[in-house]
Amino acid sequence: MAESSAPSPIRKRSIPAGLWTKCPECDNIIFNKALKDNLHVCSKCDYHFIVGALERISQLVDENGFEETNATLISQDPLNFSAVKSYKEKIRQDQKRTGLKDACITGFATMGGQSCGLAVTDSRFIMGSMGSVVGEKITRLIEACHEKKLPVIIVSGSGGGARMYEGALSLMQMAKTSLALNRFQKAGLLYISILTNPTMGGVMASFASLGDVILAEPKALIGFAGPRVIEQTIRQKLPDDFQTSEFVLKKGMVDSVVSRHQLKSSLVLLLELLAGRK
């Protein structure tokens, strides 16, 4: 019997899933460990990936420099809201997916040895929207820092604004957080607001826009209504960079656009220069 001359089939090596991430800005394929080591910033185009609250805290605070507060607060369902999914189902789903109780983590932190109160919202949890728990945790942090005479830093990332599942109870958090900040700032205490991608809706219309110093990460989407809604309303074409950090910087809405690599050092410098000197 003649031997076959057909070449043996080449077995392709499968690449394990979850090792690589594609940059949505430039299509660069990035090894996940390298991405994490680079603070989740694309080394090719400087695109800033969205990061969760826990990751954000680890990037900003000193080693063992964070003490969480009000960690057990959990959203209720005052309206018994139900659509495709009930509100309770949505909360459980996002709790499991993110490992968070709600869309905000608050606590006392040290940065470069400087003490402060720190709150971080997480856009992965119901779009980072502000319900009763987010508003209550931020208000309690502001009031605690008022009592302790500590500066406050809030890192905002919300594509959902106020949380519709809670109706007016959610909307009132805008006023509650704003009033707490008003009392805090009248006492001569420092509030630094950091805007990340995205910071929209009721969050931007309340505590996110009230900082004594407002910083933003590059190319973050910042505003109230989204650009598509605005275009449909005014029936005009908006600039390509409309509502980006760089656009609102030109309009005076933020004080500086700061890369994630320089964010901690910038905050440490601001705390050293301004805390207690307002």
Question: Is residue 193 within 8 Å of 208, Cβ to Cβ?
Answer: yes
Q: Which of 130, 157, 129 is nearest to 57 (CA)?
A: 157
Q: How far apart are CA 91 and CA 77, in angstroms?
A: 10
Q: Does residue 278 sit in helix, strand or coil? A: coil
Tokens of 21: 């991430």
Tokens of 79: 């309206």
Q: What is the pLDDT of residue 228?
A: 85
Question: Is residue 113 within 8 Å of 79, Cβ to Cβ?
Answer: no
Q: What is the pLDDT of residue 13?
A: 55
**Range list of β-strands (E), the chain:** 20-22, 29-31, 66-69, 104-111, 114-121, 152-158, 191-199, 213-216, 256-257
Backbone angles phi, psi at 215, to 5 degrees: -110, 155
Q: How far apart are CA 184 and CA 194, in angstroms?
A: 18
Q: What is the pLDDT of residue 1?
A: 45
Q: How far apart are CA 110 and CA 25, in angstroms?
A: 33
Which sign, positive or negative, has the C-alpha torsion 119, 124, 128, 132? Answer: negative
CATH topology of domain 50-274: 2-enoyl-CoA Hydratase; Chain A, domain 1 (3.90.226)
Q: How far apart are CA 68 and CA 3, in angstroms?
A: 72
Beta bridge partners of 45: none
Q: Which of 56, 121, 81, 71 is nearest to 101 (CA)?
A: 71
Q: What is the pLDDT of residue 276?
A: 59
Tokens of 237: 């074409």
Beta bridge partners of 199: 158, 222
The single-letter DSSP state of residue 252 is T
Residues, the chain, total? 278
Tokens of 220: 């973050």
Question: Is residue 104 within 8 Å of 137, Cβ to Cβ?
Answer: yes
Could you state, in order of their start, the residue ranges of all structural domains in the chain? 17-49, 50-274
Residues 6 or more apart whose Cβ sits within 8 Å of residue 1: none
Q: What is the pLDDT of residue 262?
A: 98
Model pTM greater than 0.75? yes
Which sign, positive or negative, has the C-alpha torsion 113, 114, 119, 125? Answer: negative
Q: What is the pLDDT of residue 230?
A: 87
What are the pLDDT tens digits along the chain (278 aa)?
Answer: 455 555 555 555 555 667 999 999 999 999 999 999 999 999 999 999 999 999 999 999 999 999 999 999 999 999 999 888 999 999 999 999 999 999 999 999 999 999 999 999 999 999 999 999 999 999 999 999 999 999 999 999 998 788 989 999 999 999 999 999 999 999 999 999 999 999 999 999 999 999 999 999 999 999 998 888 888 888 888 888 899 999 999 999 999 999 999 999 999 999 999 985 54
Q: Which amino acid is at 224?
A: F
